[in-house]
Chains A and B, each alone.
Chain A
Amino acid sequence: MTTRAFESRRLRLARTFLGQTLVQLGERVGTTRQFIHQFESKERTPNDGMIAALAAALLVEPEFLLRPIGQDIPQDACNFRKLQSSRVKDIEQVIAHGELLSELLELLETDLEFPEPNFPPIAVASLDDVEHAALRARTHWRLTIDQPILSTIRVAENAGAVVVKFPGVSSAIDALSMAAKRPLIIRSSEKEKPTRLRFDIAHELGHLVMHQKFRPEHDEAERQANRFASAFLLPAKSFAREFPRGRRLDWHAIFAIKRAWNVSAQAILRRAYDLQLIDAAQYKSGNVFISKQGYKRSEPYEAAESEKPEVLRSALIAMQHSAGLLPKDVAHRLNVQPLLLGKLLGLEMPDISAADAPTVINFNARLDWSKSNWH
């Protein structure tokens, strides 16, 4: 007999994270949508057998559904890209991801020290302020103000954020940041162009710097974060010195800038327009050119590889080395199945149902990611 109370919000959290509907979960545990809804809304409490079935269907241990849960993360504590075109279901899924990640981080931080959060709070009102905020942030993080940043993810993670790439996030949401005690940046890996990823990370850095205390309405906040990303990746003085002037757009030079600064030609064009290095007609014709060449889908001179998050990988390695805890042990501490931990970290996991399941996860050679470490 279960002695601890069933925590209805945890049921919803796990279901939402996995992207399952009430109907789908009901089918998996042999009950109806209505029953699941009643469990989630506390109108009905599942018995031990049902809790076990629900846990199995949601890749968690029964204990997960009985453990107290903290406050929900309110939607307005999160910064989304593409919120307006996103479905409520997608937004809830990515917030659930953030909530579960926060729990994982709290667990890991019991044993480990992560980089201290270090996001200078800079209030902005105008786009000029945003330009200054981007330069101040570069200075604060000991980046030069006239050189390309080789890894934006390293900047974020050295500043104390945790970055996760997650294939499960709907492509309708590019990225999400949460200004929590340990800031999180969750990035969809659906749009994996390296320059796009860098811009998205810089955009989220902008939110974490400028919108800690006051966040304007969504569109304005997005405009500011876009401008921040632009100014952060392409500081005005250096960019103005390098951008070619002339009646016609010089694509050879634009792509040379792209190779040097690792910023897309589209973003370079926009930066040139924002800094009034080109006029509206040139900006328009440049965009027509980009569109006609198919560069919106695929631009030339993309880097061969995207930047990769490092902090969580290092944390799991440290847990193994210092506490002897394998990933499966970390999963158990979180009361989830290893498969769910893998989804949480954005890792490809071995398919436990397959007879010929891979025995090694190609994630980090220094850690033994063999199947036995997860199961």
Chain B
Amino acid sequence: MSKRPWEFHPDLSRDRLQLIAEVLRDVRTATIPLHDPTGGDTPWILGCRIYGRSADILSRTGPQLWDWFRVIKPPLEFVFTVGDVPMRFCRDDPDCPEAQHLRVTEVEAEQHELAFGDNSVDLIWRIVVEANPAGETETVAVIGATRGGDVKCKYIVPELDGGIAFINGPTRPRTGPGVQLPEPVVKTRSPGKRRDDDKGI
């Protein structure tokens, strides 16, 4: 069995990868019903929509929720870091990713250099969503590949059985601005009301 991502980099822990994978799954699931081929939507439009929404929610939510998550290049060439490890996501075949998806962006190379010193030896990490022709998620995998396209690590992220979701509810509560009482008032006693019952103090 090949090594798993966290055995290459402790930063790529199972829990962290699980969370990102869940977001990608949820966005795809929530976006597919919006797709309208009869209105002129093409598969390319669907792909753009899913990519854009995924990058958006990861940008807005990830850094707030996870102290190990940072976006270093939004949004078209969306690059983020898990701990110190730069990553991107794409839809592809995790066993045989396209060269364009393994292309190392400039910021990614810089992050490799910063984090690991020698960027020539480290793997390129991608979260790859494999989808069926209808666009539905089949698997989400984390892969580590060489620059030549040789996949050295592949980890299928299992789907959670209940528990976590990030996008399928209202994002803005229907609540009022809140109620604030006035500052409590401490007044000087008027001379007639002054307490003169000395209690030994």
Contacts and interface: CB of A to CB of B under 8 A. Distances in A.
A50 interface: no
Interface in A9-60: none
A273 interface: no
Interface in A104-127: 106-107, 109-115
Interface stretch (B100-108, B148-156, B173-181): B173-181
Given A154-B180, A155-B181, A285-B163, A111 B194 contact: yes
A256 B173 contact: yes
Contacts of A103: 201
Contacts of A157: 184
Contacts of B180: 150-151, 154
Interface in A267-299: 281-282, 285-286, 288-289, 292-294
Interface in B129-177: 160, 162-177
Interface of A: 67-68, 70, 103, 106-107, 109-115, 141-144, 146-151, 154-155, 157-158, 238, 241-242, 244, 246-253, 255-257, 260-261, 281-282, 285-286, 288-289, 292-294, 300-301, 310-311, 314-315, 318, 321-323, 333-334
B200 interface: yes
Contact of B66 (A151, A158, A293, A333): A293
Given A249-B164, A260-B175, A293-B15, 19 more contacts: A103-B201, A106-B201, A111-B188, A112-B189, A147-B177, A147-B179, A150-B179, A154-B182, A238-B175, A241-B174, A242-B173, A244-B168, A252-B57, A252-B171, A257-B173, A282-B163, A286-B163, A301-B64, A321-B188
A251 B189 contact: no
A107 B160 CA distance: 62
Contacts of A146: 175-176
Interface of B: 15, 57, 61, 64-67, 160, 162-189, 193-196, 199-201
Contacts of A111: 188-189, 194-195
Nearest to B180: A150
Contact of A253 (B66, B169, B178, B193): B169
A51 B171 CA distance: 65
22 contacts: A67-B200, A67-B201, A68-B200, A107-B201, A110-B189, A147-B175, A147-B176, A150-B180, A158-B182, A246-B168, A248-B165, A250-B168, A250-B169, A253-B169, A256-B172, A285-B164, A286-B163, A289-B163, A293-B65, A310-B184, A314-B186, A318-B187
B186 A315 contact: yes
A282 B201 contact: no
B170 A255 contact: no
A110 B195 contact: yes
A151 B181 CA distance: 8
A314 B183 CA distance: 10
A96 B100 CA distance: 70
A318 B167 contact: no
Of B177, B182, B185, most A-chain CB atoms within 10 Å:
B185
A247 to B, nearest CB: 6
Contacts of A253: 169-171, 173
Contacts of B193: 113
A123 to B, nearest CB: 25
B165 A158 contact: no
A112 B176 contact: no
